[in-house]
Structure 1
Amino acid sequence: MSRYFTEDHEWIEVNGSVATVGITDYAQEQLGDVVFVEVPESGKELTKGDDAAVVESVKAASDVYAPVSGKVNGGNAALADDPSLINTDPEGEGWFFKLDLSDAGQLDGLMDDAAYKEFVASL
């Protein structure tokens, strides 16, 4: 599995042609306590950069963008009952959705772990 990051603080973990998408620990720290999450419906076609999900916290509401293009094959149903998973385990159980990649070449424009850490340190 390979993990990539965007400048909008999404992470994407790729296993074969299936990608799992969530927000980074940095992003959840900026949001504060998450109180509501809306994930995309299965079957929805997303183009890189599209609004894919919504996360609301006590501080703000924010969109989660599609880091790559693909077709949603499932959302994290656990977030409806327990949106705080995003605060407690943002890069694990707090994932937002999974999608089938339509263009794996788009991964080339994303950051690896070291580049993302450097990017966050510069903020």
Structure 2
Amino acid sequence: MIHIPPELKYTESHEWVRAEGNGVYTIGITDHAQQLLGEMVYVELPEIDNTFEAGDEFGSAESVKAVSEVYAPVSGVVVAINEELEVSPDLLNDSPYGDGWLIKIKANDESALDDLLDAKAYAELAREEED
């Protein structure tokens, strides 16, 4: 059973977004995504101050099974990266919504959040993929 926190927003490409206030958003990959990928062995993240548009690839997560690109759900500038993932990529498996976060972005256009999925819609997407 996958865990889908109701307070987050989600993308169809399996990223989650959490508002931190002041236009800053934390981004990670979902529990469903980490289960599909399996044991994480490497995470590639962008540099702080890199700018991305919504939908741009900003990094990748490599598991024993595959490499998966990770996409920015909102446009903005990277204000923090999770440096712990460099030494402990397994945090993505152990705590995808907690210690396994990827980056924090200061959004320059928060309207992209309107296009994201709520928990119910994401749960339906994940269910469809499992069938």
Partner of 1:80: 86
> 2:127, 2:67 → 1: CA distance?
24
Equivalent residue in structure 2 for 1:41, among 44, 47, 52: 47
Give the letter for the 2:19 counterpart. Answer: V
1:15 to partner: Cα distance? 2.0
- Indicate whether 1:121 and 2:127 are aligned: yes
Give the letter for the 2:11 counterpart. Answer: T
Q: TM-score, with normalisation over the residues of structure 2?
A: 0.90
Give the letter for the 2:73 counterpart. Answer: P
Partner of 1:108: 114
Partner of 1:26: 32
> 2:68, 2:89 → 1: CA distance?
14
Partner of 2:19: 14
Q: Runs (4+) of structure 1 moved beyond 2 Å?
A: none
Give the secondary-structure state (helix, strand or coil) at the position aligned to 1:27: helix
Q: TM-score, with normalisation over the residues of structure 1?
A: 0.96
For structure 1, which runs of at least 5 residues remain unmatched after alignment? Answer: none
> 1:36, 1:116 → 2: CA distance?
26
What is the root-mean-square deviation of aligned Cα atoms in Å? 0.8
> 2:128, 2:68 → 1: CA distance?
22
> 1:110, 1:96 → 2: CA distance?
18
For structure 2, which runs of at least 5 residues remain unmatched after alignment? Answer: 1-6
Cα shift readout 1:24-57 (whole Å, capped 9, x = no counterpart): 0000011110000011110000001111111111
> 1:33, 1:117 → 2: CA distance?
22
